[in-house]
A and B are shown apart, each in its own frame.
Chain A
Amino acid sequence: METPQSGGRAAPLLEVDGVTLAFGGVKALSGVGFDVRPGSITAVIGPNGAGKTSLFNTISGFYRPTGGSIRFKGQDITSVPAPRRARMGLGRSFQNIALFRGMTVLDNIKLGRHAHLKTTVLDALLYIGRASREEAELRRDIEERIIDFLEIDHIRHAPVSALSYGLQKRVEMARALAMQPEILMLDEPVAGMNREETEDMARFILDVREEWGVTVLMVEHDMGMVMDLSDHVVVLNFGQVIAQGAPATVQTDPEVVRAYLGSGDVDELRRRLRTSGVTEGSA
């Protein structure tokens, strides 16, 4: 799974440096630091409550860190508000699917392009010029690429609330892609999916990187998938990075093993981790 870029010396696309996040006296994250290389697939793993989603929300700007900094394309974005970060190229999906219910799949995907549009009230009322040109361009872009790519052509006009969980996750990913992000952030992209859906999603994630050149940062519980796809794995426990590196290195790290099993039979867990395909589920 190594790509030329991920091993190389290219400047990191995203740098998380000493990020600390406290809710009152509770430290959700303390001194978290790692880099995301351009063109890589980076995974954040860890037991439940380790702070993975908090970390995601901090990176996408929903939470303001109490300490540390986040740099994106070399620019400090620690105090940039969430919507601006989205427009700068950080697209994301959510653990508990955040789609515009009551709208169709196509409308949802179109809204991903919303930030790039420049239609004014007058244009919209008259529905001429920029509005219609943009609309046409937008449609082509979406139809020819994202919908085809994610194989959701057949549900294009279906209301999202009527779709299966797996398909909703896919629509969410489509919407994030429509933003033409530089980093696609996926929060548990295969949680609650069956084997077939998981394999589809894994294929999409790989293709996003290969065909679209989009860097992927994901939080995932499915060990098998993380180990198969990732170039770089960051392990969180109690809000701290306890290990990071290539998947093979990380899965033999005694600290990681202990975090996942508590104390106990370390060799047994190693074996389980190695026969990847084991679903971590609710660790």
Chain B
Amino acid sequence: MMDWAYLFEISLTGVAGGGLYSLAALAFVIVYKATRVVNIAIGEMLMAGAYLFFTFAAMFALPIWLAIPATVLGSGLLGAMIERTMIRPLLGEPPISVFMVTVGLGSVLVGLVEVIWTADQRRLPEFLPAQPIMIGDAFLAPKIFWGAVIAVIFIAAVLLIFRFWRGGIALRATASDQAAAYSVGINVPRVFSLAWVFSAMIAAVSGIIVGSIGGISSSMGVFGLSVLVVVIVGGLDSVLGALIGGLFIGLVEALAGAYLGGEYKLLATFIVLVAVLLVRPYGLFGTHEIERL
């Protein structure tokens, strides 16, 4: 006989954890949508954000309300620097070249982190409330719950910004047709920078949450692996796909972890990935014409 309460609890944890995937996937999709760059270093950008937060909150001992905005700003700057020095010069090069550069970017970021902060595992200062959360009879780990809440708030903010702010509209227009965007006076290179800045900021917020839940280390970039599964399942260029894909993969991981054992988590997500690719090669919500790498 199935334990429904247990299943509910696991599912809840999975969906809440999935919110974090959604947020990180959003960071990936923004860059892909606007610039068609597959940023394989998304996990490492998330890590960089987490370490920046560690620096501000633990080393400089800034209060949390100051450390988070500082991290977000610093990461935005990092995003702008990456775009300007590594991506912009490759404008017009084949996608595979740019893709390889982002592979390199991942290594560079890991190297920088290990040089500056060493490869030791660190703990972020506790700032999420620690009272257990009860939803009905189900128990939800407080960090997971508050992490999900923060993720939802940021996702909502990002969606609103892209709906109403003209920079967001410019980004959507550029994603749709670059030549047309140029012709209506949209500064396309600036939109590219903007996409990277936003992406880095969102990745940093995800990094802060992921780090608060599980600690930070120079190998936390592997989180990006699951994020890649999420965006491929959801469709590389679909915001909706990123959001739903994130929740879905979070759920699958939680269920596999609970019923099959922790070592089956990744196996389960990758089986889902293969299954989705077999049925819908462009992802659940993606556009049909996606370049081959």
Q: List 10 A-B contacts (CB under 8 A).
A: A84-B185, A101-B177, A111-B173, A114-B169, A114-B186, A115-B185, A119-B165, A124-B161, A124-B164, A175-B180
A124–B170 CA distance with the chains assembled, in angstroms: 13
Assess whether A114 is in contact with B187, with CB atoms less than 8 Å apart. Answer: no
Assess whether A87 is in contact with B185, with CB atoms less than 8 Å apart. Answer: yes
Say how far B182's CB is from chain A's closest CB, in angstroms.
5
Say how far A122's CB is from chain B's closest CB, in angstroms.
9
The answer to whether the Cβ of B128 comes within 8 Å of any Cβ in the partner chain is no
Say how far B169's CB is from chain A's closest CB, in angstroms.
7
Say how far A123's CB is from chain B's closest CB, in angstroms.
8
- Which residues from A are CB-within-8-Å of B168? 124
Among A67-75, A92-100, A252-260, the one that faces the other chain is: A92-100
A114–B187 CA distance with the chains assembled, in angstroms: 11
Assess whether B180 is in contact with A98, with CB atoms less than 8 Å apart. Answer: yes
Say how far B250's CB is from chain A's closest CB, in angstroms.
28
The answer to whether the Cβ of B247 comes within 8 Å of any Cβ in the partner chain is no
Assess whether A62 is in contact with B184, with CB atoms less than 8 Å apart. Answer: no
> A122: nearest residue on chain B (CB-CB)?
B165
Say how far B284's CB is from chain A's closest CB, in angstroms.
17
Interface residues of A in 183-208 (CB under 8 A from B): none
Partner of A83, one of B169, B177, B185: B185
The answer to whether the Cβ of B183 comes within 8 Å of any Cβ in the partner chain is yes
Known: A83-B187, A83-B188. A99 touches B180 (CB 8 A): yes
Assess whether B164 is in contact with A86, with CB atoms less than 8 Å apart. Answer: no
Assess whether B164 is in contact with A114, with CB atoms less than 8 Å apart. Answer: no
The answer to whether the Cβ of B166 comes within 8 Å of any Cβ in the partner chain is yes
Say how far A61's CB is from chain B's closest CB, in angstroms.
8
The answer to whether the Cβ of A65 comes within 8 Å of any Cβ in the partner chain is no
With most chain B CB atoms within 10 A of its CB, the pick from A111, A121, A175, A176 is A111
- Which residues from A are CB-within-8-Å of B176? 100-103
- Which residues from B are CB-within-8-Å of A112? 184
The answer to whether the Cβ of B179 comes within 8 Å of any Cβ in the partner chain is yes
A93–B180 CA distance with the chains assembled, in angstroms: 8
Assess whether A91 is in contact with B166, with CB atoms less than 8 Å apart. Answer: no
Say how far A121's CB is from chain B's closest CB, in angstroms.
5
Say how far B220's CB is from chain A's closest CB, in angstroms.
30
The answer to whether the Cβ of A179 comes within 8 Å of any Cβ in the partner chain is yes
Assess whether B183 is in contact with A86, with CB atoms less than 8 Å apart. Answer: yes
